[in-house]
Chains A and B, each alone.
Chain A
Amino acid sequence: MTAFTINVIFAVFWVAVSGSASLLNLMLGFLVGAMSLGLIREQANGTSYLRRIGRILSLILLFFKELSLSAWRVAVLVTRPNMQLKPGIFAFPLTVDRDFEITLLANLITLTPGTLSVDVSKDRKRLFVHALDCSDVEAAKRDIAEGFERKILEAFR
């Protein structure tokens, strides 16, 4: 079922990259997308598209909000005359367990305020995150768990 959504996204990317927004080109992109999906098929599970698309959109919106906030925070930090830094690496206990969810969460963490994912533990239960401000590790963990991780679980489960 999700394969279809991915296929549509592929088709849109095809149109974007090849640069002509005609119906014929969209169909060609859909076909190429279907072929490439055929090569890597694995995920398949329930929940209706529409609800899932809505949740993915809300994840994307949250992401762009956090990205602009993040760039702003870095800007404020590096232009201050005396930088208030308390950097460190903490271990974030993962609830998500599928490879692509961990990848997505790690990417989102990297592009959000003050955090950068560094590594995943061997048993894939913990994600090591470098933060610019480690004065309150518990609050940082709670932010990630209640923000992105919850949204990812909603969108892909």
Chain B
Amino acid sequence: MNALITIITALLILSGSAFALIAAIGLNRLPDLFTRMHAASKAGTVGSGLLLLAAGLHADDFAILVRAVAGFVFFVLTAPISAHLVAMAAHKVGYKLDSRSVIDELAEDAS
């Protein structure tokens, strides 16, 4: 039983850090702020969520596990709001979409 929990914890830590790494790679490689927010909000949330779960499992204490899960839930609630605010603010001050963008109905709406 203990060995099983250790293995699951290890897998969670590995996959969590993999997603965090992917979020970082995405931030570097994607062309403009809007596409970058995709990487930061999704892969970032999942990565830190998995790491939190791993910490909760490893503690071997139900109270700590529940707190870790609550932390994950709050992460899921807050990450999209910050991504949304950053994207909206960037669009309002006139940050251009990448040249590969095919459509911008928000700009049409504002004009």
State the CA gap A71–B88 with chains docked (Å): 22
The one of A19, A67, A79, A90 in contact with B67, judged by C-beta atoms closer than 8 angstroms, is A19
Contact between chains at B103 and A74 (CB < 8 Å):
no
A-side binding surface: helix, strand, loop or mixed? mixed
A29 within 8 A of B: no
- A75: interface (CB < 8 Å): yes
- Name the contact of A110 in the complex, choosing from B46, B69, B80 (C-beta under 8 A): B80
For chain B, the count of residues having a C-beta within 8 Å of the partner chain is 49
Given contacts A83-B30, A118-B91, A134-B103, contact A17 B45 (CB under 8 A): no
Interface string of B2-30 (1 = CB under 8 A from A): 00000000000000001100110110011
Say whether B25 contacts A87, CB under 8 Å: no
Residues of A within 8 A of B35 (CB): 85, 87, 130, 132
Provide 18 A-B residue pairs closer than 8 Å at the C-beta atoms, listed in order of the A residue.
A21-B62, A67-B76, A71-B22, A71-B43, A78-B26, A78-B29, A79-B25, A87-B31, A89-B97, A89-B104, A91-B109, A111-B41, A111-B79, A118-B34, A119-B88, A130-B35, A134-B102, A137-B103
B residues with CB within 8 A of A? 18-19, 22-23, 25-26, 29-32, 34-35, 37-39, 41-43, 45-47, 62-64, 66-67, 69-70, 76-77, 79-81, 83-84, 87-88, 91, 97-98, 100-107, 109
